[in-house]
Structure 1
């Protein structure tokens, strides 16, 4: 039997779009690779960034629209949405900044450097998540149980009761995933 959160997650339009786009890219790659001449002295073309910052912004916009649509806010609840959306956007922007800093960082010297960087990233995500929670409290308090039930899947939360939810798996922090 499919759990309710799993069914809701399957309906997320951004996830469906991303899956379709990935499939198209994967199908196109072998076809373009076959057309290249192995005897050519020309260097291979530079890698193309298939997921740009604009794409990430569009995906975030789509997820927020989907979340807002699925909750079906009343006019009174609508007023409480803006602070939550702003907090989610800021958390996503912070995650993007951390990812950019990680790319520029010197290579780790040893496993302790790796652990320290992991701890710092988790602490930063925790602080961002606390900000999102604080912004969400007034809105969630105004929602019906049915409206509340729809939210976790659209945030990317797993539906395995009793198991911890790693912050990196939330789409809010998607920019930090590799």
Structure 2
């Protein structure tokens, strides 16, 4: 079991480093961005790794499709949010930083942010709802694996957030 969790964690590390290259700060045409096929492959890999780490029984397999669908829907919604940010950034690409700050509409920004957070919240609710029936059937070892994966994902997300904050601070210091 330790080998499975270790292997899964290593693969999540690799996959997360690829995903981090697609952060919203980069220019829309950046070569660091993942294309649609790469993003889909990354989602497939994460789903396969999660399922493999769980080692589902035949009965549990029947409860997996809603979980996979919720994971895929959440990934699609994230892609749409990133595309929307890229579109907004693209419209302002010709402006200097000072012009962009002068032309910024804080109310529109707050509304866009609120919509994005509401979508993320709804996606997480759907994901939790999809996981609940399956989670109830997991044995203690499987639950430990889910917990380990969740802790890893949360830790990885906090690292990404901190790197983005540091980049924003660095950008602010340059001005």
TM class by smaller structure: 0.5 to 0.7
User: How has the CA–CA distance of structure 1 residues 49 and 11 changed in structure 2, closer, same or farther, with 3 Å as cutoff?
Assistant: closer
Contact 1:14 1:63 in 2 (8 A): yes
Residue among 115, 118, 124 paired with 2:119? 124
Q: Deviations over 1:119-169 (max 9, x none)?
A: 22111100011011111110001101221121244341239xxxxx87x97
State TM-score, norm by structure 2.
0.63
Flag as ranges the 4+ runs of structure 1 deviating above 6 A: none
Residue among 58, 62, 69 paired with 1:79? 62
User: How has the CA–CA distance of structure 1 residues 16 and 99 changed in structure 2, closer, same or farther, with 3 Å as cutoff?
Assistant: closer
Contact 1:87 1:135 in 2 (8 A): yes
Shift of 1:104: 1.8
Q: Matched residues in 1 for 2:52 and 2:134: separation? A: 14
- What secondary structure, in the 3-state scheme, does the structure 2 residue paired with 1:11 have? helix
Shift of 1:115: 3.2
User: How has the CA–CA distance of structure 1 residues 8 and 133 changed in structure 2, closer, same or farther, with 3 Å as cutoff?
Assistant: farther
Residue among 4, 9, 12 paired with 1:11? 9
- What secondary structure, in the 3-state scheme, does the structure 2 residue paired with 1:124 have? helix
Shift of 1:114: 3.0
Number of aligned residues: 136
Q: Deviations over 1:50-109 (max 9, x none)?
A: 521111111111111110011110110011001100111011101111211222236672
Q: Matched residues in 2 for 1:21 and 1:96: separation? A: 11
- What secondary structure, in the 3-state scheme, does the structure 2 residue paired with 1:48 have? coil
User: How has the CA–CA distance of structure 1 residues 12 and 60 changed in structure 2, closer, same or farther, with 3 Å as cutoff?
Assistant: farther
Greater relative contact order (Cα < 8 A, sep 6+): 1
Which runs of 5 or more residues in structure 2 are unaligned?
21-28, 93-102, 162-175
Contact 1:12 1:66 in 2 (8 A): no
- Residue in structure 2 matched with residue 57 of structure 1 by the alignment: 40
- What secondary structure, in the 3-state scheme, does the structure 2 residue paired with 1:51 have? coil
